[in-house]
Structure 1
Amino acid sequence: MEETSPIVAIIEDDDAVRRALTRLIASFGYRTLEFESGEKFLAERTAVSSDCVIADFHMSGMTGLDVLLKTKSEAESPPVVIMTGFDEPGKRSRCMGAGAAAYLVKPFERDVIAKTLRDILDH
């Protein structure tokens, strides 16, 4: 992994899922940053920069949609991918309408997340 590789911030409150997703994304050659909450990500955002954000929709405190809306209100916002294990009618359209770069339903295949990140980061 090179110092110039894109950085993907992973916001997931389930430790095991966050670690697994971090390993998976690193295996694609991207650098990763891990956050257990949207609040932690936003608090540390000025100190760390990311090229893409993957946020779980359902977390205690801020949801992934809350993170998306907060980052979209800033001048330079990275693309945000929303993921969820609880897909519900209208959730995808709400997230995409709010500006999500992609919407993924867990569990997703390795190829799905790889293609999603390539489409977003490998211009």
Structure 2
Amino acid sequence: MTPANAVERELESSSAAHATPVVFVVDDDVSVRESLQALIRFAGLTAEAYASAQDFLKRPRAMVPNCLVLDVRLPDLSGLELQNHIASERTDMPIIFITGYGDVPMTVRAMKAGAVEFLTKPFDDEVLLDAIRLAIERSRAALSDGAEIRVLQDRYASLSRREREVMVLVVSGLLNKQVGSELGISEITVKAHRGQVMRKMNAHSFPDLINMARKLRLGRAPRIVRPEAA
């Protein structure tokens, strides 16, 4: 990735979390959909409604803060099945379940899978709006975290192979001399690579670099074993 593209991506990523949020509603009852849309829009939020899980899945993933108000009972995929379907793909989309036929096992299952709230119809409008506001904040935080990780991945991808090796070893706690011994290079060369890593990763301090490595989940490189001299 070129420096110009990297900057563009950083700008796009940072703006996504601050974009206008949208609330998705999936319910097969048209009167419920229209009522929820009106309530959500009256609260100053954008709302999109769908009659089935399949209709909703055709909609491209939203890259703005969002949440899903989801009926448990639907004509194709159930609400719980839809929750399982999008759990790994749309972690930035918190779910609020609504149902007229809730029970304890169903509620427990939904909440364990990460639902923000499980409301039984009829429910108080303010209770739903409070849940939506909480969900939107969670989505905004998830998008922000995701954007930060993507930026760090781009920076890490800009490192050379040797710079990545040096970064992994120095953040694991090795001194420059030890890194040099591990990689078979001089301490001066290690310092040069370390300086390049700090610059390319845009790390303002060594603790900052360690934090970046933690977020990238960089593991310690295996120790390099070289044959002893005869």
Larger fraction in strand: 1
1:99 CA drift (Å): 1.5
Larger fraction in helix: 2
Q: 1:34 is aligned with what amino acid?
A: A
Counterpart pick for 1:16 among 18, 25, 31:
31
Query: Structure 1: how far apart are the matches of 2:50 and 2:136?
Result: 20
Q: 1:69 is aligned with what amino acid?
A: N
Indicate yes or no: 2:118 matched with 1:121.
no
1:89 CA drift (Å): 2.8
Query: Structure 1: how far apart are the matches of 2:73 and 2:124?
Result: 20
Query: Structure 1: how far apart are the matches of 2:21 and 2:99?
Result: 23
Q: Which 4+ stretches in 1 moved above 2 angstroms?
A: none
Indicate yes or no: 2:67 matched with 1:52.
yes
Q: 2:80 is aligned with what amino acid?
A: L
Aligned pairs, number: 119
Indicate yes or no: 2:81 matched with 1:66.
yes
Q: Structure with the greater relative contact order (CA < 8 A, sep ≥ 6): 1 or 2?
A: 1
The structure number with the bigger radius of gyration is 2
Indicate yes or no: 2:44 matched with 1:29.
yes
Aligned to 2:123: 108
Q: 1:100 is aligned with what amino acid?
A: A
| TM-score, normalised via structure 2 length | 0.48
Query: Structure 2: how far apart are the matches of 1:43 and 1:77?
Result: 18
8 Å CA contact 1:81, 1:101 repeated in 2: yes
Alignment CA distance shift 1:49-1:37 (3 Å):
farther
Q: Which SS does the other structure have where 1:92 is aligned?
A: helix
Q: RMSD of aligned C-alpha atoms?
A: 1.7
| Cα deviation digits, residues 52-107 of structure 1 (max 9, x gap) | 01110011111111111111121544111111111123111011011112111111
Q: Percent identity?
A: 28
8 Å CA contact 2:29, 2:51 repeated in 1: yes
Q: Which consecutive residues of structure 1, in runs of 5 or more, have no partner in the other structure?
A: none
1:5 CA drift (Å): 3.2
Q: Which consecutive residues of structure 2, in runs of 5 or more, have no partner in the other structure?
A: 1-18, 139-230
8 Å CA contact 1:5, 1:29 repeated in 2: no
